Chain A
Amino acid sequence: MSEQIEPRASKDVDVNNVEFVPVVSEGPASLFAQLKGFWLTFRTMFKKTLTVEYPEVKAPTQERFHGRHQLNRHPDGLEKCIGCELCAWACPADAIYVEGADNTDENRMSPGERYGKVYQINYLRCVFCGLCIEACPTRALTMTNEYELADDSRSNLIFEKEDLLAPLRSGMLMPPHPMYPEADHHTYYRGEVPEAHPSQEVKK
């Protein structure tokens, strides 16, 4: 068994046979070199400052900045989340809590069998690693660039499903509502549903 274990990298490079290089101390730099330091700080005084005056000026983040999460919707407004909990299991910080429930014909939140009934992300725990995003099989969970996530109470930092759900865009209908006519969940995942059909509207 032990023969199969790969030798440690340090044995490969043979640390016992590295050449010893004497440490050379040059002593203090020449006066000119030291004065160069003064010139550097003096010159820097006339440079543009790098500070972003944050609350007044907001610099855009990097494109793929890991910000607040978002629960996406299909183009007709149904939720993408199927309540599978894979994100919760993937989370190293145990920040996500999911409770799934069955879709019924009267109460359909997502295409297919199940939907996420309770969905919470605790931003006091989340380390914004993005592993949950990788784990999500439906692309329901993604991250936005929003970074203003400060609050003065713990409970406010546990975001509920309503806080995380993407807004309704044009062509979307507020679930619960039935699926697109003649479509099943495969159609949805393939992205063949363009937008809500008039027949999907639920009379209240």
Chain B
Amino acid sequence: MTNAEILATDPGWIIAVKGLLVFAACVVLTLLAIWAERRIVARMQERPGPNRVGPLGLLQSLSDGVKLALKEDLIPAAADKIIFVIAPIISATTCFMAFAVIPVTGQVTLFGHKTVMQMTDIPVGVLYVLAIASVGVYGIVLAGWSSGSTYPLLGGLRSSAQVISYEVAMGLSLVSVFIYSGSMSTSDIVAAQDKWWYAVVLFPSFVIYAISMVGETNRAPFDLAEAEGELVGGFHTEYSSLKFALFFLAEYVNIVGVSALATTLFLGGYHAPPGLGFTESWLGGWFTAIWFFIKVAGFFFIFVWLRGTLPRMRYDQFMQFGWKVLIPVSLFWILVVATLRVLSQQGTSRTGVLIFSGIVVAIVMFVNVAFDNVKQKKKNSPRPELSKPDFAVPALPNKESDHV
């Protein structure tokens, strides 16, 4: 039985319980994630990190949350009140919705009912996740716009531009997964990875997805939307109290969300790593959830690692990287994958595939060399003489001026 068939037999109350579980898991994961991030980044900077509240500081984010909730809730006079209130709600709700199609476990029994831990399985599940993610951007844009203040507006603009451009790359990186698995449903894609994870088979897609998911979630080094040094707090500068907490929650649930999607699409989802397949039946199938969360935690660690290591990118470099590198590369990669797929479906011989691969490698090398040549030429060419401006300029401190 496929997941979709199993899920079709779910009674309503099971779906409700699952929804509750997803929500609870996301909130608890967020609290843990904030704590873990602060601890890990701190260790990377030779600090212990929060260690005062509760054992190992585990309750720190909980107490921060309570503190946030008890703060005065300000709405600036210049703000567009209704949208100002709606924006964080959009952000926070959409990020939870993505989890509806993520399969967290294999077959398990929940209250005596055979099911899988996935709320619903739609044939275009991954597209649904992408769509939900782009609705989430509205939260950020509207927050920036409705604040009635400059920095939030700039932050909102930046982040919308950023999320839109990286969503293109992200979507393109997923195309090869669709081509390879022949499905857009998350559970089918997981099932198609029972032999080889797509992170191995479709390594370039995996890399592109991994990069664009950092851009998509506005995280360091791509956190231009809330660049403290430039934009105060970015789009949430004017927010306080619970509304700010909602944005915070949305950010972390989003991180968990894209990590969960990456796990599902590239790391075999809830399946155990190769060689450990026997663990999948432990605890009546619930053990698969542990594999799932280990993989998600791995992605989360990478998020934190990036934040601890890399400085923030400059905005134009960031956009250039998205449009001029990620998108062309993923387009080319889709071409290659699609051709290979067609070749293998038409039963072309090994040699045919090998010849094609050889041609691809040759093209890549040629382009690489050509790029390098252009760069070298640019470097060696003499700098153009600047023409004298025809307006008055102050004297430069050079040989002609006495007053240095």
**A16: interface (CB < 8 Å):** yes
Interface string of B155-179 (1 = CB under 8 A from A): 0000000000000000000000000
- The distance in angstroms between the C-alpha atoms of A44 and B45, with both chains bound, is 7
Cβ contacts A to B, 10 pairs, < 8 Å: A15-B397, A16-B398, A17-B399, A37-B309, A41-B44, A41-B308, A41-B309, A42-B44, A44-B43, A49-B43
Q: For this complex, into which size category does the number of interface residues on chain A fall?
A: 10 to 19
A15 → B minimal CB distance (Å): 5
Shortest beta-carbon distance from A118 to chain B in Å:
43
Give residues in B with beta carbon < 8 Å to A.
Answer: 40, 42-48, 305, 308-310, 397-399, 404
Within 8 A of B (CB), among A1-59: 10, 15-17, 37-38, 40-42, 44-51
Known: A38-B305, A38-B309. A47 touches B46 (CB 8 A): yes
What's the Cα separation between A103 and B309 when bound, in Å?
Answer: 67
Taking a contact as CB atoms under 8 Å apart, the answer to whether B47 and A44 are in contact is: no
B305: contacting residue among A17, A41, A46, CB under 8 A: A41
Residues in B whose Cβ lies below 8 Å from that of A51? 46-48
Instruction: Name the residue in A42, A49, A50 with the highest tally of chain B Cβ atoms < 10 Å from its Cβ.
Output: A49
Residue numbers in B under 8 Å from A46 (CB-CB): 43
Q: Which residues of B contact A16 (CB under 8 A)?
A: 398-399, 404
Taking the closest CB of chain A, its distance from the CB of B114, in whole angstroms, is 43
Query: What's the dominant secondary structure at chain A's contact region?
Result: helix
- State which of A38, A41, A50 has its C-beta within 8 Å of the C-beta of B47: A50
Chain A residues lying within 8 Å of B45, measured Cβ to Cβ, are: 44
* A positions within 8 Å CB-CB of B: 10, 15-17, 37-38, 40-42, 44-51
> Taking CB as reference atom, which chain A residue is nearest B302?
A38
Which listed residue (B48, B305, B397) contacts A42, Cβ 8 A?
Answer: B305
| Distance in Å: Cβ of B269 to nearest Cβ of chain A | 27
Q: With the chains together, A42 CA to B42 CA distance in Å?
A: 12
Chain A residue contacts of B47, Cβ below 8 A: 49-51
Distance between A48 CB and nearest chain B CB, rounded to angstroms: 8
A16 and B56 alpha carbons, distance in the complex (Å):
61
Inside 8 A of A45's CB, which chain B residues have their CB?
A: 40, 43-44
Q: Knowing A42-B305, A51-B48 are in contact, say whether A37-B310 is a contact too (CB < 8 A).
A: yes
Determine how close the nearest CB of chain B comes to the CB of A38; give it in whole angstroms: 5
Task: State how many angstroms separate the Cβ of A29 from the closest Cβ of chain B.
Answer: 12
Q: Which residue of A lies closest to B52 (CB)?
A: A53
Chain A residues with CB below 8 A from B40, complex form: 45
Given contacts A37-B310, A42-B44, A45-B44, 18 further A-B contacts (CB under 8 A): A16-B398, A16-B399, A37-B309, A38-B305, A38-B309, A40-B309, A41-B44, A41-B309, A44-B43, A44-B44, A45-B40, A45-B43, A47-B46, A48-B46, A49-B48, A50-B46, A51-B46, A51-B48
Contacts of B404 in A (CB 8 A): 10, 15-16
Task: State A48–B310 Cα separation when bound (angstroms).
Answer: 22
Q: How many angstroms between the C-alpha atoms of A169 and B299 in the bound complex?
A: 64
